[in-house]
Structure 1
Amino acid sequence: MNEITDIRQSDNWSKYLALYGWKSIKTRNGSILRINGNFLTCRANLQIPSELSSKDLEEIENICRRSDVHILKISPNHKQDVSFLEDRGYKQTNQIELIPNTVFLDLSLGAENLFSLFTRSCRYSINKANRDGCYTEIVRNPTPAETLDFYKTLSLRAKKKKFTILGLKDVQKKVDVFGVDSFICNVFDSKDRLLGTKLFLGHCGGVWGMHSGTTELGQKSTGGYKLLYDCIPYFIPLGYKKMDLGGVSDVRLKNLSKKWEEYSHYKREFNGEVVYYSLPYYKWLF
């Protein structure tokens, strides 16, 4: 699968994070460093840069010192050699802002070829949803009312599963910033009742699954499988080359990710490429 710049390294992500007071600075190699805080505690994050060399790191540390940053945290990409970080005094931590692994589908293979690669139970679930009369609707650049409906489903499911989620303003800001590259994908049963919903954001040839929710009725159906599969032929003509299904459980984070297992099993059924990023590294600069 060809490498595509991570969405966290996009200008739109910078505009989204401005909601929380993050200031974004581009380095010479195009990576985006983000800084937040005050004279008491000021921190900087570098998330999934396409490349990071010793020279890049020196530039980043100099920017941080000029900006009175106290602590710098780096979340490397999955192909990054991290040995030089350790040589420069960085320590690894399991305190994460990003889920350090995910599942990607290679959309360049086409919908039919991808379907043939899914597990047998995944294909069965999609076909069953079709037989049951389930259907999907995908809304591009949703309105505030459509975003609110999405958030209601998301928050209800989160409360039941005791997941922590950010507020409606967070979701609405993502939609506002990404505009035509934001998608709310819904799946309904034959009686037009909502079964599940998912928000995707697109950037630079990739489309990332951000948030999802399932209704009580959806828990008893296989509509969620159809929802993800129907997104594939929708996204391909728009020029997207890969589709991020979102994070899966991680043995490195047993206590944190044990609640994710149900969703992780579901995502793994699509037999995509599971990518493991390094856990983040941090360094106190002052």
Structure 2
Amino acid sequence: MIIKWKKLFFTINEIYGNVESSEKLQKADVHAFFQQPGLIHSSKRNTLHKETRTLCIDLHKSEEQLRTELNKSTRYQINKADRDHLTIRVVTNPNTNDLEDFKRFFNVYAKEKGIELFQDERINGMAGNGKLYITYVFHKNGDLLAGHLYMADGNRAGMFYSGSIRLTNTDIPKNDVGRANRYLHWHDILYFKKENYHLYDFYGISLDENNKDQQNINQFKRSFGGEEVTEYRSFIPQTLKGSLFVLLLKIKWRNQVERIKGNMVRNEQTKAKERGFFP
């Protein structure tokens, strides 16, 4: 799957999954490779590489088996939420108005959490390829409780954004909102299973053991079962502007534990070759 989008005056090709030949890609300042089994073009100069970990659920498994793999607390909360008279809404191929609605909802949550706001250009690039789904869960009184935005390619559904009203709504108990959010995740897992997807991807497990907030999110994701998978991201400049973009990323991410530097790049090259991966 390939997504082309623009950030400021930089044009980016995002490539997810299998890479046949980067020569066939449209012109861009940067080629950004995601969900790779090894580093891409790691011998080139001025490149940036990251090791990432994510949690994937195998949707080939039966619903009964998936439910069994939930931890006890999450299974209890989902069962309880089933009696809360919640309403689920799924938006397939969201249009501009749908995306604006989700953006308004998510940005309120993002500001409270202090995380990056909705990325218009990037999401519009995904939407142009028909790769997006939005799901919502509503309280019995009609209030929106939580929402998710997925990037999906027919094989793998990745949770790109997740937000709730837990931090902003004082009328509904936080426990009720959290329970509804778990229920929405469970519904989404079953939805993509019925749509014959192979993987449900929580889109990231933080490697920063010192970040308590990120570790709490990791614990939440792991409560649904699944398998942790190590993958790689490579950012390869194609123009002078692209080299500047990669340099800015290096500065921005200079302290991230996921970033691969120096000898670590050569070590990962060796590991990839041992696995038979030759990008």
Structure 2 unaligned regions, length at least 5: 233-257, 266-279
Per the alignment, residue 271 of structure 1 pairs with: 225
Higher relative contact order (CA 8 A, sep 6+): 2
1:154 and 2:106 are equivalent in the alignment: yes
Q: Measure the CA separation in 2 of the matches of 1:201 and 1:163.
A: 19
RMSD of the TM alignment (CA)?
3.2
Q: What one-letter code is carried by the residue in structure 1 that aligns with 2:153?
A: H
Say whether the 8 Å CA contact 2:157–2:200 is kept in structure 1: yes
TM-score by length of 1: 0.68
Instruction: Give the direction of change, closer, same or farther, for the CA distance of 1:166–1:147 in structure 2 (3 Å limit).
Output: closer
Per the alignment, residue 151 of structure 2 pairs with: 201
- Structure with bigger helix share is 1
1:123 and 2:98 are equivalent in the alignment: no
Per the alignment, residue 184 of structure 2 pairs with: 227
Instruction: Give the direction of change, closer, same or farther, for the CA distance of 1:165–1:29 in structure 2 (3 Å limit).
Output: closer
Q: Measure the CA separation in 2 of the matches of 1:209 and 1:185.
A: 10
Say whether the 8 Å CA contact 1:32–1:46 is kept in structure 2: no
Q: What one-letter code is carried by the residue in structure 2 that aligns with 1:133?
A: H
1:168 and 2:120 are equivalent in the alignment: yes
Count residues in correspondence.
Answer: 227
2:196 aligns with one of 239, 243, 250: 239
1:281 and 2:235 are equivalent in the alignment: no
1:211 and 2:161 are equivalent in the alignment: yes
Identical pairs, percent:
23
Q: Offset at 1:23?
A: 5.2
Structure 1 unaligned regions, length at least 5: 1-9, 38-42, 65-69, 77-99
Say whether the 8 Å CA contact 1:44–1:71 is kept in structure 2: no
Q: Offset at 1:150?
A: 0.9
Q: Measure the CA separation in 2 of the matches of 1:44 and 1:249.
A: 24
For 1:71, what is the secondary structure of its paired residue? Answer: coil
Instruction: Give the direction of change, closer, same or farther, for the CA distance of 1:125–1:75 in structure 2 (3 Å limit).
Output: same
Q: What one-letter code is carried by the residue in structure 2 that aligns with 1:230?
A: H
Per the alignment, residue 79 of structure 1 pairs with: none
Say whether the 8 Å CA contact 1:142–1:175 is kept in structure 2: yes
Say whether the 8 Å CA contact 2:209–2:215 is kept in structure 1: no
**1:247-258 aligned within 5 A:** 247-250=204-207, 253-254=208-209, 257-258=211-212
